[in-house]
Amino acid sequence: MQLPKIKIPKKYLKIGAWILGVIAILLVAGGAVAYTKREALLNKMVAKAIAKAQKDYGLDVKIANYGFNGLSSVHMNNISVVPKDRDTLTTIKDITVGVKIFPLLFGDVKLSEVTLNDGKLNVVMRDTLTNIDFILKRKKKDSTTTKSKVDLSELASNLLNQVFYKIPDDMEIKNFMMQLNDNDTASVKFLTATATIDGGELRSTIKVNDTAAVWHVNGELDPSDKQLDVMLFADGKKVELPYLENKLHTKINFDTVKTQMKDAKFSGGDYKISGSWAIKNLLINQPRISAEDIVVPDARIDADMLIGENFVCLDSTSTVFLRDASIHPYLKYTLSPNKIYEMKLNAPEQDAQAIFNSFPVGLFESLDGIKVQGKLKYNLDFYLDTALPDSVKFSSTLTPTNFKVLQFGKTDLTKINTDFVYTPYEYGKPMRDIVIGPSNPNFTRLENISPNFKNALLTAEDPSFFRHKGFVEESIRKSIAVNFKEKKFKRGGSTISMQLVKNVFLSRKKTLVRKAEEILIVWLIENNRLVSKSRMLEVYFNIIEMGNNVYGIGEASRHYFGKTPADLTLGEGIFLANIVPKPKAALYKFMSNGSLKSYLLPYFRYIGNIMARRGLATPDSTGYGFYDVRLREGLRQYLLPDSTTIDTNTVEIGEDDMMTPEGMQDKSKSLFDRLFGGSSKKDTVAKVQPATDTTKTRKQVRQERREERRRKKEEEKNGN
C-alpha cells in the first residue's frame, strides 16, 4: 500500500530554515568567542589539575611548555610526575593529545589522536613502599556524609566507557619505557619502540629487558562499538614472564594469547560483557601447583560476564574448551546484603577418551597414557551464603555411560590386589620399604584383625566406607562449613579410599594438582571396581602410620601393647583409632605409669556410644575400656613426666597443611612467599609449650624420637 505524501507549507520550511540559521550563527559566534578564550581556559584547567594532584595525591606535576596545536589538540613537552618522598614516576619529553569536539559538548572526553615521543613510566617498590601507593589514597570525607550505595553495573559501564574513550582513532608512540624495580631483587623493562593505531589497526613492537625478547601486541580496535581483537606474541620464541619466575618462583610462558571483546551493553538491568580469551602452548611450573611442567597446548574460553547492582557473574552460557573437551562454568560472587559464593560446572556427556586427552600434559602423571572407552558427564554445584555457613550446598557427580578402562597409564591402579612394596615418606623423605604381603611378619590379613580395632577406626574415620563410592558429599559439605566458620582448616573430608590412594599411588610432593589427581584415581578405582572394598581396607590397615616409624596395625599392636592385632581389646582399638589423625603424638597421651590421660575419656565414651548404638560394642557406662588400656612396660621409660605440658595439636605438621589456611599464616613471610615460596617456619617436628621447667625442648623431643627409632631397629634385629 502506498502511503500518501505529506505536503509541508512553504512558510513552515522558511521558519525552520531561519531557526537552523540562527542556531548555526550562535554556534559559530560561541565557537569564535571560545577560540579567543581557549588559551586562558587551558591555563586555568592545567593549573587546576596540577593543584588537585598536589592536594589529593601528593604529586608534584611539572609541565615545561604547553599550548594548542590546531583546533582541538594540545601539545606539551618536558612533563614530570614525582610522588611526595618517592622516586620519579613519569617523565615525557613530547606529547600531543587531541580530543573530539562533538562529544566534548556533552561532557565526554574522547581522544582523537595521541602522539608521544620519548617517555618513561618507572614503578619502584621498596619493602612496603612504592611510588604508586598514592593510588590507594582516599580523600577525607565529612563525618556527616553518608556512604552511598554503589551500583556495580553502572560502575562497570562507566569504567569501560572511560577505557574506550581513551583509545584514540590515531596514535603514534615512539620510545616509551615502562620499568618495574621490586626491592632491587626483581626488575622488568618494556620499551615500546613503536606503537600505532591507524584506522582501527593496532601495531606495536616492544623490547623486553633490552635484548631479551621482542613482543608484539597487534589487532583491531573499534572503540565506538566497544569491540577489540588483539593478540600478544614474541618474535621467534615464546612469550616469557621473567619477573614472575624471579619474584614468585613461577615459570610461565606461551606462544600466543588472544583477547576478543565482542560486545558490552546493558541487558535486562545487568551489564553484559561478551568476549573470548585463548592461549596456545601455555607452560606453568610452580612447585606448589605441580612438581612437573604443566603444558596446555590449546585452551579457550567464550565468556559472558554479567555485572549487576550487587554481583559479578560468569554466566553459564560461557564455555571452556580444552582440545576436544568442553565444560560450562557458572561463577557468581554477590557482595550484599551478604557475601555469597556460587559455582556450578556442567560438562555435557562427551567421549571419555577426549576428556582424558584434554588434561594438560604433566597434570596427572600417574594417568599419563591411560586408554578408556565410553562417555562421561560431570556436574558440580556449590553455594555458600557467608551469613548461613551451615546451609552450604555441595554436590559433585561424574556419571559414566559404558565406561571402561582399557589400558592403565604410568601407574597400574590394580597393583594393590597382589603383594607389593610400600615406601612411607616423612617430611618428604623415604623411611623404609615395607612389603604388603605374607613375607612381612607384621602383615595382617583383614580377618585376623580384631573387630574392636576395625569397628573403632571405621566409626571414627569413615563410617560409610562399605557403602560409599570413594566420597561422602555430606562429610565434604560439613567440612566446608566448619572450616569457613573457624577460618582455618580444622576438619577434612577425606575417606579411607582417598587416604589409601594418596599414600599408595601418588607422589609425596605436596601440590594442589596431586589432590585433584587423588580424587580422579579414587573415582576410577571405586566406580570401576578395580579393587574390592575388603582389599582396600586390608591394605589401609597395613600401611597406616601409627607412631614414629610405626606403620600398619601389626607393628602398632606389638609396639604399644605387645600383642597381635587379633588380641586387641575394645579400649586398645579405640585408642589406636584416636591416634590415626596425629600418630606422632601417641606417646604424649599416656601417663608415666602407662595409663591414658584423663582428657581422652570423653573421646572413648563418644566413639563407644556410637559403636554401641550400631551394635558394634556392648553399652558401657564406665568408658568402653578406657581404664584398661596400658602401655607396655618397655615403652614407659620413654614417657615424659606427668607435669610436662605438650601441645599435641602441633606435634606434627600434616603433609597437606601447606595448602590449608593454617599453613598459609606464617606472618614472617610476604603473601607471595606464603603462596609460592620456600618452607615455612611452621614446618617443624614439634612445638612444645614452655609452661613449666619440665617442658621438653624441640631438641629433646627429636633426640627421644631418634632413641625410639634406634630401639625399634634393635628390637626388629633381635626378633622381638
User: How many Cα atoms within 13 Å fall on the side-chain side of residue 655?
Assistant: 21
- 332 pLDDT above the threshold of 80: yes
Rg of the chain on CA atoms, in Å: 35
Is 643 or 322 the better-scoring residue by pLDDT? 322
d(CA 523, CA 510): 21
Measured CA to CA, the distance from residue 466 to residue 537 in angstroms comes to 9
Residue 694, pLDDT score: 37
State the pLDDT confidence band at 576, using cuts at 50, 70 and 90.
Answer: very high
> What element of type H or E holds 123?
strand 111-126
Mean of the pLDDT values across residues 565-594?
95
18 has a pLDDT exceeding 60: no
d(CA 287, CA 513): 10
Q: Does the pLDDT of residue 483 top 70, yes or no?
A: yes
Tell the residue number behind the cell numbers 617456619, with chain if given.
681
Question: What is the distance between the alpha carbons of residues 226 and 641, in angstroms, rounded to a whole number?
Answer: 74
Taking only the tens place, the pLDDT of each residue in 685-698 is 333 333 333 344 44
Whether 84 contacts 61, CB under 8 Å: no
| Domains of the chain, earliest start first | 408-636 (1.10.3810.10)
Degrees, nearest 5: CA angle 140-145-150: 90
Q: What is the pLDDT of residue 672?
A: 36
Confidence class for position 37, pLDDT limits 50, 70, 90:
low
Assign residue 398 a region: left if phi > 0, alpha if psi is -120 to 50, beta otherwise? beta
| CA dist., res. 429 & res. 585, Å (int) | 20
Q: Is 378 helix (H, G, I), strand (E, B) or coil?
A: strand
Residue 206 has pLDDT above 70, yes or no: yes
Going by C-alpha positions, the residue among 121, 54, 50, 126 that lies closest to residue 86 is 126
Statement: residue 80 has pLDDT above 70: yes
382, 397 contact by CB (below 8 A): no
Nearest of 584, 629, 578, 543 to residue 460 by alpha carbon: 578
How far does CA 186 lie from the centroid of its chain? 23
With a cut of 50, say whether residue 31 has pLDDT above it: no
Q: What is the pTM of this model?
A: 0.77
Rounded CA gap, 336 and 452, in Å?
A: 51
Run of H or E including 354: helix 352-358
Please tell me the predicted confidence (pLDDT) of residue 4. 56
Residues 158, 507: Cα–Cα separation, whole Å: 50
Is residue 561 within 8 Å of 591, Cβ to Cβ?
no
* Most confident of the ranges 466-470, 568-572, 646-650: 568-572
Rounded CA-CA distance 85/87 in Å is: 7
Q: State pLDDT tens for residues 607-644.
A: 999 999 999 999 998 999 999 999 999 999 989 888 88
Give the pLDDT mean for 363-389: 92
Q: How far apart are CA 698 and CA 655, in angstroms?
A: 19
CA 537/CA 444 separation, integer angstroms: 11
Type of residue found at 94: D
Residues with Cβ < 8 Å from 631, sequence gap 6 or more? 560, 561, 587, 590, 594, 595, 639
Q: Determine the Cα–Cα distance for residues 508 and 503; give it in Å rounded to an integer.
A: 8
Note the pLDDT of residue 233. Answer: 96
The per-residue pLDDT for range 646-659, each reduced to its tens digit, is: 766 656 544 444 33
| Four-point Cα dihedral 327, 332, 333, 335, nearest 10 | 170
pLDDT of amino acid 132: 82
Q: Is 503 buried (19+), middle (13-18) or exposed (0-12) by CB count in 10 A?
A: buried
- Max mean pLDDT range (132-146, 162-176, 351-365, 597-611): 597-611
Closest CA to 519 of 367, 370, 691: 367
539-549: average pLDDT: 95
Position 652 scores a pLDDT of 56
Cis status of the peptide bond prior to 337, with omega within 30 of 0: yes
How far apart are alpha carbons 211 and 219 in whole angstroms? 24
Model confidence at 142: pLDDT above 50? no
Q: Which three cell numbers stand for residue 139?
A: 580523600
**pLDDT value for 709:** 63
| Structure confidence by residue, pLDDT tens digits, 406-455 | 999 999 999 999 999 999 988 778 899 999 999 999 999 999 999 999 99
Distance CA(515)–CA(512), nearest Å, equals 6
Residue 426 and residue 408: Cα distance in Å, rounded?
A: 28
| Beta partners for residue 372, in sequence order | 405
Cα–Cα distances in angstroms (integers) from residue 401 to residues 257, 374, 375, 527, 589, in the given order: 36, 6, 5, 12, 50
Q: Which amino acid is at 74?
A: V
With a cut of 90, say whether residue 313 has pLDDT above it.
yes
> Which of 165, 156, 150 is closest to 111 using CA atoms?
165
Residue 348 CB partners (closer than 8 Å, separation 6+): 326, 328, 377
Check residue 718 and give its pLDDT: 52
Query: How many Cβ atoms from other residues are within 10 Å of residue 556's Cβ?
Result: 27
- For position 675, what pLDDT does the model report? 35
Percent of the chain with pLDDT over 70: 80
Instruction: Report the distance separating Cα 79 and Cα 466, nearest Å.
Output: 74
Give the tens place of pLDDT for each residue, 236-275. 999 998 777 777 788 899 999 999 999 999 988 899 999 9
Please indicate whether residue 684 or residue 350 has the higher confidence score (pLDDT).
350
Rounded to an integer, the average pLDDT of 165-181 is 91
**3 state DSSP class of 243:** helix
Quickly state the pLDDT bin for 670 (edges 50, 70, 90). very low
Strands 420-422 and 434-436: antiparallel
pLDDT tens-digit profile of 46-57? 888 889 888 888
Per-residue model confidence as pLDDT tens digits over 158-168: 989 888 888 89
User: What is the Cα–Cα distance from 710 to 716, expressed in whole angstroms?
Assistant: 10
Per-residue pLDDT reduced to its tens digit, 106-141: 556 678 899 999 999 998 887 778 888 877 665 444
Q: Which of 72-81, 662-671, 711-720 has the lowest mean pLDDT?
A: 662-671
Out of 90-99, 104-113, 298-307, least confident range: 104-113
